[in-house]
Amino acid sequence: MNFIVSSTILLKHLQSISGVLSSSNNLPILDNFLFEVNNKHLSISASDLETTITTSLEIQSEEIGKIAIPARLILDILKNLPEQPCTFKIGTDFSVEIAYNNGKSKMIGFNGDEYPRVPKLDNKNSVSITGEILSKAINKTIFAAGNDDLRPVMSGVFCQFTEKEITFVATDAHKLVRYSRTDFTAKGNASFILPKKPLNLLKNNIRGDEEVKIEYNTSNAIFSLNDITLNCRLIDGKYPNYEAVIPKENPNVLSIDRNQILSSIKRVSLFSNKTTHQIKLKLAGSDLNLSAEDVDFSNEATERLTCNYNGTDLEIGFNSRFLMDMLSNLETTDIQLCMSEPNRAGLLMPIHSEENKNEHILMLVMPVMLNR
């Protein structure tokens, strides 16, 4: 089997799917890309068993066949080749020869039939969503998902589609993000939990406002966009009742410029305890005092900001890293931090302009006990 393909185009397609490759595969065959040639069409797949991603492109060929080619080796070869046509010659012994302008290289591939097959979806449903909305929903929530293997449902992003809105939720029990859109609806109701790895792969491959088709059943989901198809196993389990942890009464409301408070937190947090990352917010009238200290090293810092605050005088502590993550993932000029008591969660929300009225973002952050 022979085929000819551009070195840079092939490299671009391989890099778009290489993120799924794992350095600790149980099956050695998964250290390879699966090349499937069907006349002028080439499909390339990479998999870690849980997630399989496939890309396709046009080539020069009149043959049909498949071969598994070592992933790291072919990536390294193509990275060091200038733009030019490459001729692939696949032998009956699964040898792979790549000929280019001033030379050739040869490696041993593997039987493509040994590559794991992608499971087919039975009893599937489908929904289509614009790439812009999906990409934004992933970006706004994925940073809040947990990493605890003992609580796998909290290590992914909960997706819910209804006839009124779509909602994406992520939490690690210390922080929570709920992102909703009312300008996109689905036929019927559906919900599932997506792992972080396929979501990151999707985010990296969405290149605009193209339509993304999502097909799903109780165990798997398939995303189709441009020349990419991603099949992933869903996280099995029931997502926590996140609405129950969102406090309903929050009479103390701080309104402030997002960049101003973010810059201040970045500076003050440099002097916080390196274990707790605790930062204290002291609110009185129109004054916001931010402070942090590390008793072990006699480090401390304090800054005073002018703000708009409605509520009783309040001192509350937060993990500065969580606040910085959240503020960095908001885009509006001004934000609100709504609080009730020093031992209850605070709600961080953007102050939207009229053009963002279909987008709703709520970020919850748990407080930390203040050192007295």
Beta carbons of 55 and 228 less than 8 angstroms apart: yes
pLDDT of 133 > 70? The answer is: yes
Residue 293 phi, psi dihedral angles, 5° rounding: -150, 150
Query: If you average pLDDT over residues 319-337, what whole number do you get?
Result: 95
Whole-number pLDDT of residue 283: 96
- Write the pLDDT tens digit of every residue in 71-127: 999 999 999 999 999 999 999 999 999 999 989 999 999 999 999 998 888 888 888
Place of tokens 């990151």: 200
Beta carbons of 247 and 345 less than 8 angstroms apart: yes
Pick the CATH number of 2-114 from 3.40.50.620, 3.40.50.970, 2.10.240.10, 3.10.150.10: 3.10.150.10
Whole-number pLDDT of residue 208: 78
User: Does the model's pTM come out above 0.85?
Assistant: yes
Residue 114 phi, psi dihedral angles, 5° rounding: -80, -10
Residues 6+ positions from 102 with CB-CB distance below 8 Å: none
Whole-number pLDDT of residue 355: 60
pLDDT of 288 > 70? The answer is: yes
Same fold across 2-114 and 246-368: yes
Tell which residue, 324, 320, 356, has the closest CA to residue 136. Answer: 356
Residues 6+ positions from 327 with CB-CB distance below 8 Å: 258, 261, 262, 265, 335, 348
Percent of the chain topping pLDDT 90: 83
Query: If you average pLDDT over residues 263-278, what whole number do you get?
Result: 95
- Write the pLDDT tens digit of every residue in 139-161: 999 999 999 888 999 999 999 99
CATH of domain 246-368: 3.10.150.10
pLDDT of 322 > 90? The answer is: yes
Whole-number pLDDT of residue 90: 96
Question: Domain segments of the chain: what residues?
Answer: 2-114, 125-243, 246-368
pLDDT of 371 > 70? The answer is: no
- Write the pLDDT tens digit of every residue in 176-207: 999 999 888 777 788 999 999 999 999 999 98
Predicted confidence band at 296 (pLDDT cuts at 50, 70, 90)?
confident
State the Cα angle at 112 between 106 and 118, rounded to 5°: 140
Q: Does domain 125-243 have CATH number 3.10.20.90?
A: no
pLDDT of 372 > 60? The answer is: no
What is the chain's mean pLDDT, rounded? 93
Whole-number pLDDT of residue 310: 96
Q: Which residue has the higher pLDDT, 268 or 189?
A: 268
Tell which residue, 319, 364, 325, 367, has the closest CA to residue 344. Answer: 367
- Strands of the sheet with 252-257, listed across from one edge: 190-195, 156-161, 166-171, 175-181, 359-365, 346-350, 334-339, 252-257, 308-310
Enter the tokens of residue 117.
């097959």
Beta carbons of 40 and 78 less than 8 angstroms apart: no
Beta carbons of 159 and 242 less than 8 angstroms apart: no
pLDDT of 354 > 70? The answer is: no
CA distance 364 to 339: 10
- Write the pLDDT tens digit of every residue in 43-60: 999 999 999 999 999 999
pLDDT of 353 > 80? The answer is: no
Print burial letters for 137-176: b (CB count within 10 Å at least 16), e (below 16): bbebbbbbbbeeeeeebbbbbbbbbeeebbbbbbbbeebb
